[in-house]
Structure 1
Amino acid sequence: MKFNYKLQRLCGAYYGNPSITTEMGSTNPKKDGSNILYTSNGNTLISATSNRIQLIDLLTHSVRTLPVESRSNIRSMCLNPTDTLLLVVDVQNYAMIINIIRGVILTRFKFKRSVYDCQFSPCGQYISVTHGRHLQIWFSPSATHKEFMPLILHRTYTGQSQDISSITWSADSSVIMATSKDCTVRIWSVNTIYQFNPITLSGHKTPIVNAYFVYRDLEETGTGTSTRSVIDSCYTISQDGALVTWKCSTSSSTDEDNDDTTTPKEDIDLPPSQDNDNDDGVQKIWKFQSRHYFNQTGSSLITSSYNESSKLLALGFSSGIFGIYEMPSVSNIHTLSVGSNQIISTCVLNTTGEWLALGCPKTQQLLVWEWRSETYILKQRGHSYGMKCFNYSPDGIIIASGGEDGKIKLWNTSSGFCYATLGGTAVGGSGAESSHTAPITAIEFSKSSVVLSASLDGTIKAHDLHRYRTFKTYTTPTPVQFLCLAIDPSGEIVVGGTMDPFHIYTWNIQTSRLLDVYTGHTGPISALKFQCNNGGILASSSWDGTVKLWDLYKNNVQTESLQHNSDIVCLTCSPNGKEICSGTIRGLLSFWDIESGKLKFELDGRRDIIGGRKHNDRMTASNNSSSHYFTSIAYSADGTCLLAGGNSKYVCIYEISQQILLKKFQVTFNRNLDGVLDELSSKNMTDFGPIDDHANDSEDETTYNAIRLPGAKRGDDGSRSTKVEVLTRQVAFSSTGREWSAISGEGLHVYSLDEDMLFDPISLTEAITPAAVEIKLLNKDYSMALRMSIHLNEYKLMKQVLEEIPYGSVPSVVKTISSEQLERLMNTIAKIMDTSPHVQYYLRWCLEILKTHGVHMDKHRSSFMRAFRSMHKIVQTKNDELKTICNQNKYTLDFIESHAQLAAATSAASLVSASTPPGSSTKAAEVN
């Protein structure tokens, strides 16, 4: 079994910081989410979730999580013009520059003051960041080679009385504009200009949200006629919805502009510059031109985005309303709402101005709206208040998750997106709500199209995945709270365990009739599992420290109890049905033989799961093992390994036969969570406890760090900020064994095997060399030669082997190619076929691959789609080229064909005449 699992994606939250709870009174709504970005082509969206970065492809509708993490929650991001470098700054002002193509961190840096916005210059040479009340410009590092000092400070700009909130570059990267919370806008030149004073624009009553340059084309005549864009004006937008237009003009056109402008507010005349190339926007006169208000009662403007090419302005308000306006007429195109009381913290238009992306941190919602067709390109929303439980479908394609909000979401494991949320009205028009009214505690798949959920509201509901409706509801005679759920292998019986009165209820799934109630436990039921090879045997664990085995088909059989020394919190059954594993609050994993009822062995996992010191712990993490134990365990598909997670930042994988720990995974490194660090810094310790570094992130004067009593799990109810503890609520293996998932406070972490490995260490040995490949070719062992060359992954060697294989041996060689080598072979054939003249030969390869491995490729589309598209593209290209050549030489080909037919007839006649004996000319003529 391979263990090179890596985080593939983070589902459940595609925007915002689900690990932090924002309370009332925060003056900074962007605390819980950073800005979102489009790539230069406008097809990929970059979003930040906690301290991770999500890449969402809007064309293929798939998501990928970069394998990098920041120290804490991300506050701001910016992307360079070539889409190669990504600058990320977190709430602690730690920055990292990432090569977004390879997904690696190039350098890390710490800013001394708060950074609220960062921008790459359009030329890609500079990086500008807000540094408290200052503005800093740094030289951009190189993405191709390493540097001793990747970041070099170019210049620092001052003059603002309060913190700078946003930055805007000019198109030629010569002028930069910054907005501040002191209600002013300042314009600086990037390079030094003689006797130049920065321009200050003041005309707002509330802090300015953003400012944008507006350009006009200027014709130039010389050796040729060309146009260049110069700054014509700028827009400044404040929180009260005021839009002010400032006109930029030369001194010669001042009088003309005064005739068209009413009540000028400010005239700034600057001396001529010694550098004529960098005087755009600074050696001009800036004048007040007009003012417009976007009136939204009871809400303030939070974010805006302006697209210069389409002249569109998008605005987002604190009430969840967003609008699109056409500039400069400020005519309203659309005004819609994403929901009541949902703060839109960020919005951005793509390069063409067709798609508007919106982020709502309160509901962790990410939307992409196409305003022309008035449809959503993307609409993803996580569980309110976090996930509670999940489960894989039998085929491993679907993940069903249950949340604290009582809803069920269905996730596609290939794309990582939620495609359905179960809710609405029940089937039959009864009007009953199909969603639960309390948190969901367990989810199980009965079949591939039916999922059942148990909740604290005292009901178990069955949902149809074809119609996305609830068709059955199972209730008890008295009100209870369900903690666990299980379905027998035949899919006929469903059982549920309760918190109080410690009973186990069984129903018939088809008739919804309560069959029996099993009693005997003296504590809440923590887990229920059916024996896989014998559906009648049910194992139940409880907080009373016992595991009981029940035979549902033989009521007169005495119940067997397996005693433990402490409370049992998790239970699972092996795939072969001969073994069960239980976990206690002492961190012990006990393995029992079902037939004999005897304890086989125990694994002490306390030292394995210990890690992370809580913020108010009075002892180190290594000495505090009382609160660290496994709360969820799961067998692998082959039953050889056990996956375990619990009240810790670690998820462990154990090998059962050897009783050893194989690997530990840390689900997050986010320092905004409690329990991530193993040691606390002594400089933050006071007589009353440690100082919270994140207590002032909300910039709320009323926020304070409440002192918690020793041993108290609950903080002060008057505190306006909370710090979520890092833990794993549930873990599960996929049925394929190539993927496993875990639920934490940040969402659903999906770990899968690395599909991009260049070498297979099991098949690649020292005997596989280029010389050995040539020997196999000489011996005409073409199948082995091709497989060896694929393992070596050398392009020239693979091309040599492919071209030496005879045309007639292609079908037999293709049949020997395994599924692990198929994708690499398809990519190589597509690459060779692009420049090779042997078109028919490689078309035979393509045809045989589709005939032999077509079914397997269709079943695993996500794995082979990239290679198949490459191969299809080159085949289509060759087809177009040959079609063009044939059309151009149509008459030549007809002439050659007719000439060949005439030549064939002439030769046939000559052969007949030569073979005809003398005196039979009449028969020869008849033949002719």
Structure 2
Amino acid sequence: MKFNYKLQRLCGAYYGNPTTTDSYGSDGRGSGSNLLYTSNGNTLISAVSNRIQILELHSHTVRTLPVEGRSNIRCMALSPNDTILLAVDVQNYAMLVNIVRGVVLHRFKFKRKVRMASFSPCGKYIAVTHGKHIQIWLAPNHLRKEFAPLILHRTYTGQSSDVTRLEWSEDSSVIMAASRDCTARIWTVHTTYNYQPVTLSGHKTPIMAAFFAYAETGNAGTISSGNRRSRRKIDSCYTVSEDGALVTWKAQQLNSGDSKSETNEDIDLPPSADFDAQVNEAVDFFSGGAASAPSFLSKKGGAGDDFPSQGHELAHCQWSYQTRHYFNQEGSSVVAIAYNDRSQLLAVGFSSGIFGIYEMPSVSNIHTLSVGSNQLIQSCVLNQTGEWLALGCPKSQQLLVWEWRSETYIIKQRGHAYGMRCMAYSPDGVVICTGGEDGKLKLWNASSGFCYVTMEQSHQAAITSVCFANSSVVLSASLDGSVKAHDLHRYRTFKTFTSPTPVQFLSLAVDPSGEIVTAGSMDPFHIYAWNLQTGKLLDVYTGHTGPVSQLAFQSHGGTLASASWDGTVKLWDLYKGNVPTESLQHNSDVVCVACRPDGKEVCTGTIRGLLSFWDVESGKLKFEIDGRRDIVGGRKFNDRMASNNNASSRYFTSVCYSADGTCVLAGGNSKYVCIYEVSQQILLKKFQVTFNRSLDGVLDELNSKNMTEFGAVDDHTDSGDETTYNALRIPGAKRGDDGSRSSKVEVLTMQVAFSSTGREWAAVSGEGLHVYSLDDDMIFDPISLTEAITPAAVEAKLEAKSYSTALRMAIHLNEVGLIRQVLEEVPYASISSVGKTVGPEQLERLMNVVAKAMETSPHIQYYLQWCLELLRTHGLYMDKHRSSFMRAFRAMHKTVQTRYDELKTICNENRYTLDFIEDQSRLTMSTEDVHA
């Protein structure tokens, strides 16, 4: 069994920070990060907790980058070429990430609060808000690790309060900053002759965003053909304040005789030509030299460019107030702004959950919609074409991508309110069902990672357990005293099971036939059994003297194992009522139980951290595994002792067997999930669920400077005042304490489960659903690989029309492009014969390549034939070893279904055209028959 599991995706929330109990920061805004689109507009980047999610909007899939920040991410910035991502967390620690490879290039820390970061359009600079200041850094120009890849270029001052928003000009020569002091300020990136920084003031509340507006000009220069070419220069700018006021500022060109500042006419100046030469020489000196300066440093835009930079243009401009508009949203404030200059669209999000799209510069309203009552919109962003608007709501962990032209949602994802509590895999491993504290049931696609169904009115209280009766029926138990059965075809509840007296259900299990449903209660300590078809209560099993924490059925025989806090595990035979109940005694409370797939062994977990393995037939204890030292780790904020001395509070709360029964997966109230080998009784591997320091219990040792006689003090909370930045926030103190109270979410694992395929497992934690899988795409297969097998040899075999040999050699080389080339050169009539020569060891790899190639290939029928022949030839073998081929089969099935849906949509939209073509072809054929 392989154990190189890697985190594939984090489900449950695709925006916001579910690790914080308070949804709003010290500035009254949400706790989520900003959203980013890539340059093509088809990929959305979102931050969840301390991780980064990449959402592919066209293929409707999501993946999680294998990097983690120190704590919750506050802001992100993406380079123009989509290769480098800058992420800054709430503790102002930043990391540069190679987004293509998913590796961290550099980590460093800012000394002040960073609210926003932005790459320049040229990609050479990174601007960050640094408290009241702005810092511009030289961005790294390599995609490799360096000792100090960032070099500080310049720090800009002048604002009297924190800077909230940055805006670059198109040529990266001018930068504008909006501040909470109700002003916006404009600087040039490099020293520019005769330019003075401009301050725009006129708002009554803090400015949330500021944007440049451009005008087309076509008389700035010529090209070799003699035609005039146009350029865009800054014509005006917009500033939007928190109270919904939008002010337009106009940049007016001064005449040659005008001056922006008073000058003394009696001062003797050198001749104009000599004076300009001296000024340019001084500018080059203080900017690092003309050789090393960017193209916009000189008056011209660069070699062969006759256009002056935007900074030089603004040096001869005077800003003036032009117009003022108000967004009529009473009782709400502006919290998120996005502007697309190419399409001249302005998207505004309000604190009431309403967002509007306006056309500039007339500020005419195009659309106004609501994402939900009292759902504060933390972030909104428009893609490059201005067609897709992405919205993020941190309180509900909701992420929306809305296409405003067709008024449809591209993506609408929402996490569980108050956290996720339980989960279950479907029998085929395709669907994951989760239940949350909000009483809702969600179904997730295991291959794409998206939630496709949310059953809103499932329960009135928290869902404590879910399980699948079969691939189309899922059951859920809740603290509201009901067990419900849900139909996955019609997505509705068709059965509700209740007890004779009101109880709270803690556990749930269904027998292998899917006919008997059992649930354990908290008080009284009974187990109830119902018939799934009729909904009739069959029996009530008594005997426990404590809450029934978990139930598990054997794979055959009808034996039910129930774990209870009374320190016993009882084995019930539901089909034979006269058989006495067998009780397995423990020395402490039992919190979890699992049955081996063959039904001959039971694994139990107690609050002492022990995993006990029992023989079902004899009822005797086989052996025990002490896991206290394996899962110990992580000192909570209020713990009085170190983590290595606090092993008594660490134990397993969930355990499950692997598909072959050789290993067990165990997780509990710790940051670790452990995999044990049963026969050898050894720990095989230990996974740490998260490294997020915003959670409680992640660090093994706390900083000694924060330990006082009154307890630990958290010094990571942001301060709005620079003078108290390093001040410790002691509870009850007036200085540095705004009176708010918030607590950290503890890191723990509520439930773990293996997929039926054995290629992935999932764990439910405070951050959501962590899905770990085996990624074999990059595994090199050296079997039967000799020096003669090379890409040149494969091409030679293709020229000789030895397609079978070429395909096997390409699969051994494990290069996707080469395998695809061989596949597409195989004649259509030879697909069947070539497919039969593929061995079982190469079949899974070939299926993955076919599925991946079919996603983008226009040869749909050709690849459909490949899929058909592979299933016809190797279908029986795949059915016998379905656990090994389930992942590849799901990928192939998903691709075929996606292409089918695309063709179906196109044909439905062009139905009448297709009917006309068909009628014309029939008419042509009948005409030819008449002439014949």
TM > 0.5 fold call? yes
Deviation at 1:283, TM superposition (A): 3.2
Distance 1:797 1:455 in 2: 53
Distance 2:257 2:670 in 1: 68
**Residue 248 of structure 1 corresponds to which residue in structure 2?**
251
Residues 422 and 750 in structure 2, CA contact (< 8 A), matched pair in contact too: yes
Q: What residue identity is the alignment partner of 2:780? A: F
Deviation at 1:755, TM superposition (A): 3.3
**Residue 11 of structure 2 corresponds to which residue in structure 1?**
11
**Residue 852 of structure 1 corresponds to which residue in structure 2?**
870
Matches within 5 A, 1:83-162: 83-162=82-161
Match of 1:645 among 667, 682, 687: 667
Distance 1:607 1:270 in 2: 77
Distance 2:202 2:3 in 1: 61
Residues 76 and 116 in structure 1, CA contact (< 8 A), matched pair in contact too: yes
**Residue 388 of structure 1 corresponds to which residue in structure 2?**
421
Count residues in correspondence. 828
**Residue 280 of structure 1 corresponds to which residue in structure 2?**
313
1:317 is aligned to 2:350? yes
Match of 2:409 among 359, 363, 376: 376
Distance 2:655 2:525 in 1: 22
**Residue 381 of structure 2 corresponds to which residue in structure 1?**
348
Residues 23 and 720 in structure 1, CA contact (< 8 A), matched pair in contact too: no
Distance verdict in 2 for CA 1:631–1:153, change over 3 Å: same
Q: What residue identity is the alignment partner of 2:869? A: K
Distance verdict in 2 for CA 1:756–1:268, change over 3 Å: farther
Provide structure 1 residue ranges, at least 5 long, that are not aligned to the other structure. 256-266, 424-433, 709-715, 873-928
Distance 2:896 2:248 in 1: 52
**Residue 2 of structure 1 corresponds to which residue in structure 2?**
2
Residues 810 and 844 in structure 1, CA contact (< 8 A), matched pair in contact too: no
**Residue 752 of structure 2 corresponds to which residue in structure 1?**
731
Match of 1:818 among 838, 842, 847: 842
**Residue 499 of structure 2 corresponds to which residue in structure 1?**
476
Distance 2:171 2:750 in 1: 52
Secondary structure of 2:837's match?
helix
Distance verdict in 2 for CA 1:417–1:209, change over 3 Å: same
Q: What residue identity is the alignment partner of 1:137? A: I
**Residue 177 of structure 2 corresponds to which residue in structure 1?**
178
1:231 is aligned to 2:230? no
Q: What residue identity is the alignment partner of 1:480? A: V
**TM-score, length-normalised on structure 2?**
0.83
Residues 84 and 143 in structure 1, CA contact (< 8 A), matched pair in contact too: no
Deviation at 1:693, TM superposition (A): 3.0
Distance 2:404 2:789 in 1: 61
Q: What residue identity is the alignment partner of 2:326? A: Y
Distance 2:477 2:257 in 1: 74
Distance verdict in 2 for CA 1:252–1:149, change over 3 Å: same
Matches within 5 A, 1:525-536: 525-535=548-558
Residues 786 and 798 in structure 1, CA contact (< 8 A), matched pair in contact too: yes
Residues 695 and 705 in structure 1, CA contact (< 8 A), matched pair in contact too: no
Distance verdict in 2 for CA 1:850–1:268, change over 3 Å: farther
Match of 2:811 among 765, 769, 790: 790
Residues 44 and 58 in structure 1, CA contact (< 8 A), matched pair in contact too: yes
- Root-mean-square deviation (CA), in Å? 3.6
**Residue 786 of structure 2 corresponds to which residue in structure 1?**
769
Distance 1:483 1:865 in 2: 37
Distance 1:690 1:674 in 2: 12
Residues 307 and 313 in structure 1, CA contact (< 8 A), matched pair in contact too: yes
Match of 1:460 among 476, 483, 507: 483
Q: Deviations over 1:607-637 (max 9, x none)?
A: 1111111111121111111110000011111
Q: Deviations over 1:13-56 (max 9, x none)?
A: 000000002167x5424451010011111111110001011111
Matches within 5 A, 1:686-725: 686-696=708-718, 705-706=730-731, 720-725=741-746
Distance verdict in 2 for CA 1:844–1:172, change over 3 Å: closer
Matches within 5 A, 1:318-333: 318-333=351-366
Deviation at 1:692, TM superposition (A): 0.8
Q: Deviations over 1:659-710 (max 9, x none)?
A: 11111111111000001111111122222222213334799999965499xx
Deviation at 1:445, TM superposition (A): 0.7
Secondary structure of 1:8's match?
strand
Match of 2:515 among 492, 500, 507: 492
**Residue 650 of structure 2 corresponds to which residue in structure 1?**
628
**Residue 891 of structure 1 corresponds to which residue in structure 2?**
none
Secondary structure of 2:255's match?
helix
Q: Deviations over 1:721-778 (max 9, x none)?
A: 1110000000000111111000000000011111322314xxx36x743158999x9x
Distance 1:252 1:548 in 2: 94
Secondary structure of 1:21's match?
coil
Secondary structure of 2:314's match?
coil
Q: What residue identity is the alignment partner of 2:431? A: I
**TM-score, length-normalised on structure 1?**
0.83
**Residue 670 of structure 1 corresponds to which residue in structure 2?**
692
Residues 512 and 555 in structure 2, CA contact (< 8 A), matched pair in contact too: yes
Distance 1:799 1:38 in 2: 30
Matches within 5 A, 1:391-406: 391-406=424-439
Distance 1:645 1:412 in 2: 23
1:299 is aligned to 2:320? no
Matches within 5 A, 1:155-234: 155-220=154-219, 221-222=221-222, 223-234=226-237
Distance verdict in 2 for CA 1:555–1:366, change over 3 Å: same
Deviation at 1:643, TM superposition (A): 0.5
Distance 2:896 2:508 in 1: 42
Deviation at 1:794, TM superposition (A): 6.8
Distance verdict in 2 for CA 1:523–1:367, change over 3 Å: same
Distance 2:196 2:821 in 1: 68
Deviation at 1:558, TM superposition (A): 1.3
Deviation at 1:331, TM superposition (A): 0.7
Distance 2:822 2:448 in 1: 36
Deviation at 1:657, TM superposition (A): 1.2
Secondary structure of 1:661's match?
strand
**Residue 74 of structure 2 corresponds to which residue in structure 1?**
75
Distance 1:418 1:270 in 2: 65
Deviation at 1:573, TM superposition (A): 0.5
Distance 1:845 1:325 in 2: 45
Provide structure 2 residue ranges, at least 5 long, that are not aligned to the other structure. 264-275, 281-297, 300-307, 879-884, 901-932
Deviation at 1:521, TM superposition (A): 0.7
Q: Which moved more, 1:48-57 or 1:221-230?
A: 221-230
Deviation at 1:783, TM superposition (A): 7.1
Distance 2:48 2:817 in 1: 43
Deviation at 1:162, TM superposition (A): 1.1
Q: What residue identity is the alignment partner of 2:400? A: L
Q: What residue identity is the alignment partner of 1:561? A: S
Secondary structure of 1:280's match?
helix
